[in-house]
Amino acid sequence: MTLRLKVNIAFAAVAAAGLVLLWFVLGYSLSGDRITEATREARILTAQADAIAQYTDKEVAPLLSGADRGGALFLPPAASFYAVEANAKLLEKLAPGVRLRRVVLDPTNADDTPDEWERDAISELRGPRDGQQFTEVTPDGSIALVTPLRMRPGVCATCYSSLDAAPAGVRDAFGGARGFNRQTGEIVGATIATVSLPPTSSAFYWTFGAVACIILALWAAANVVLEVLVLRPIARVSAIAESVSLGRAGVVEFDVPKTGELSILTASFNRLRRSMESAMALLES
């Protein structure tokens, strides 16, 4: 195995290890950025849901207060939960990859029913999380921001402390079998904003490619330096040594570099050659 091959193998091993490490470091860094961006978007969705609910309660519901016949009719546009759900469904159609759900436990309205993952998230809010907002990865790999919904009148279709406390229109629309008997401040559900993770940024591939090109350029430069400063001088020394060992006459001496490790080698070789030539001359005489 030649010296050039040994050096190239060593350089290739180091470069490969560095590229693998760079791949994982860049991937981890950009993955964190993607999660941060998705979480930020989920917080915006949750804030928008709260804004829609507050606007409906303060602006829309009073305008329709006379049309519900004193609570005898249930008017969906006057209910904040309905406004949030309607906007969320429209948003999901207009912006694929985002989803906003307001779900409650034991609902009368089927639209408010949580799926298995959402039910587990609500249970976590009511238990280990102690009502603290949290983020989690959904089964499909999206980022979900889970915010608790606490009991207050109108937070959902049947979120009332008792059946008697609910307006007649709500009782007529949803019945009284499920969803009532809530305690004030109780976590009855959650607002779950889900955002798909954005694809890997092109910056990842550009950065990795740029570093790979730099490493290849350094590899080429190292080969040039190795060839000019090491391999060629050694090859010349070897050729002269072979000629001298075969007894060829008129072989020129190797030019001794002024500095460097090879200067010691070539100077020693030239002295050895002169000694051998002197010894041969004495033997011939």
Q: Out of 15-19, 26-30, 81-85, which region has the weakest mean confidence (pLDDT)?
A: 26-30
Q: Give yes or no for residue 146 having a pLDDT over 90.
A: yes
pTM above 0.95, yes or no: no
Task: Look over the chain and give the mean of its residue pLDDT values, rounded to a whole number.
Answer: 78
- pLDDT for the residue 59: 82
Name the residue ranges covered by the structural domains of the chain. Answer: 42-195, 202-284
Q: What percent of the chain has pLDDT over 90?
A: 8
pLDDT band at 103, cuts 50/70/90? confident
Q: Out of 7-11, 157-161, 262-266, which region has the weakest mean confidence (pLDDT)?
A: 157-161
Q: Give yes or no for residue 145 having a pLDDT over 90.
A: yes
Q: Which residues contact 178 (CB under 8 A, 6 or more apart)?
A: 106, 107, 108, 158
- How are beta strands 134-137 and 143-150 bridged, if at all? antiparallel
Which residue did the predictor score with more confidence, 138 or 260?
138
The Cα 208–Cα 217 span in angstroms is: 14
